[in-house]
Amino acid sequence: MKDIISREITVHASMERVYKAISDPTEIITWFPDKIEGTLDVGQRPVMIFSGENHKTSIYVEAAKPFSYFAYRWVPGGAGIIGDVLKVPNTLVEFFIEESGQETKVTVRESGFTSLPAEVAEECFKQNSGGWEYMIGRLEKLLNKN
């Protein structure tokens, strides 16, 4: 069982622009969830809403270091969880942002799949592997058009 998903893109946008796209609730909905209830400040527990209103999941904002790092915890998988994700097995999603010449490199890494219940860990890893491929592609498209 693998524990880490990692995807990387290089975009024609500043580190500040990338960070805003990842950490600002009005920006993140342009490429990731359909809606977000709450703020993305450290220590907050907003709810991300996907597929209209069909899939809601709470997250816990773990860290924010403008303009280089942003991280949150959540419970991956189709069911999602509403409530305190720190009280159940969860994964850590991290965004690393760094200058790369005239461009910016963005790495998203989700880790902790081996801490999930065995009966769902492999399926969650598979789902999120494809999910991050799709979502990071959307982020890349957004940042390269601005």
Residue 146 has pLDDT above 80, yes or no: no
**What's residue 75's pLDDT?**
92
pTM for this predicted structure: 0.95
Name residue 109's beta-bridge partners: 6, 94
Strands (DSSP E) along 12-137, which ranges? 35-37, 47-50, 55-65, 69-74, 91-100, 103-111
Q: What does the domain layout of the chain look like in residue ranges? A: 4-145
Q: What is the pLDDT of residues 60-101, one digit of tens each?
A: 999 999 999 999 999 987 667 889 999 999 999 999 999 998
Q: Which residues touch 93 (CB under 8 Å, ≥6 apart)?
A: 71, 72, 73, 74, 108, 109, 110
Q: Please report the DSSP string for 40-57 in residue order.
A: -STT---EEEETTTTEEE
Q: What is the mean pLDDT of residues 44-58?
A: 88
**What's residue 132's pLDDT?**
96
What CATH fold (topology level) applies to the domain 4-145? Alpha-D-Glucose-1,6-Bisphosphate; Chain A, domain 4 (3.30.530)
Average pLDDT, the chain: 94
